Amino acid sequence: MEEVDSTQIGKNLKIMRGEMTQADLAKAMRKRGYKWTQATVWTAEQGDRKLKLDEAKSLADILGGSLTDFFQSSIVSEKARFLSAAIRALIQTWSETCLLYTSPSPRDGLL
C-alpha cells in the first residue's frame, strides 16, 4: 500500500461522511466518548488534525466503512465502481419488473 498523508485521509473522511453533517458526525463521536465538535471534524477533513487509531476505528464504524478506507489513495474510484455496480443491478431489476407488468398474460385475453 502506498503512503497516504493526512490530507488524503481527511479527503477520504469527507467522502465517507457523505450526506452526514459535520455536526452529526461530531455528535456520534461524542456518544462514543470522544470530545469531538464540528470544528474537530473540519480540521480532520482538512488534514490539519491527524486521526488516532481508535478514532479512525470509531469513525469507520459510524460511517459504515472500514479502517482501510482512510488509507486508500483511490477511495473515490473504488466507491464509484461500487455505486456503478449497484446502479446497474437496480436498473436490471427495474427492467425485469417492468417486463412483468407490461407482458401480456392469458387473463388479458391477448394470448
pLDDT score for 53 = 94
pLDDT surpassing 70 at residue 81? no
DSSP-assigned states of every residue in 38-74: HHHHHHHHHTSSPPPHHHHHHHHHHHT--GGGGG-TT
Q: Could you report the per-residue pLDDT of 22-49, keeping only the tens digit for each? A: 999 999 999 999 999 999 999 999 999 9
In this prediction the pTM is 0.65
**Average pLDDT over all residues of the chain:** 84
Cell numbers for 89: 443491478
